[in-house]
Amino acid sequence: MGCGKSTKAKQLAHRLGCPVIDLDNEIVTKSGKTIAEFFAEFGESGFRDYESEMLKTFQYPETCVVATGGGLPCFFDNMDWMNANGTTVYLEMEPAQLVSRLQNRHKRPLIKDLDDEQLLDFIQLKLTERNPFYRQAKIIVNAFDLDVEILEKAIMDNL
pLDDT on residue 110: 79
Q: Which residues are annotated as a binding site for substrate?
A: 24, 48, 70, 130
- Give the alpha-carbon dihedral of 42, 48, 50, 52, to 10 degrees: 180
Residues making up the annotated binding site are 2-7, 24, 48, 70, 108, 130
- Which residues contribute to the annotated binding site for ATP? 2-7, 108
Q: Looking at this protein, which amino acid is placed at residue 9?
A: A
3-state secondary structure at position 144: coil
Residue type, 59: Q
Binding site feature residues for Mg(2+): 6
Give the class (CATH, top level) of 5-158: alpha beta
Sequence ranges of the domains in the chain: 5-158
Question: Cα separation of 65 and 108, whole Å?
Answer: 23
CA angle 123/128/129 to nearest 5° reads 100
Q: What is the pLDDT along the chain (159 residues), one digit of tens a residue?
A: 899 999 999 999 999 999 999 999 999 999 999 988 998 899 999 999 999 999 999 999 999 999 999 999 999 999 999 999 999 999 999 999 999 999 888 877 779 899 999 999 999 999 999 999 999 999 999 999 999 999 999 999 998
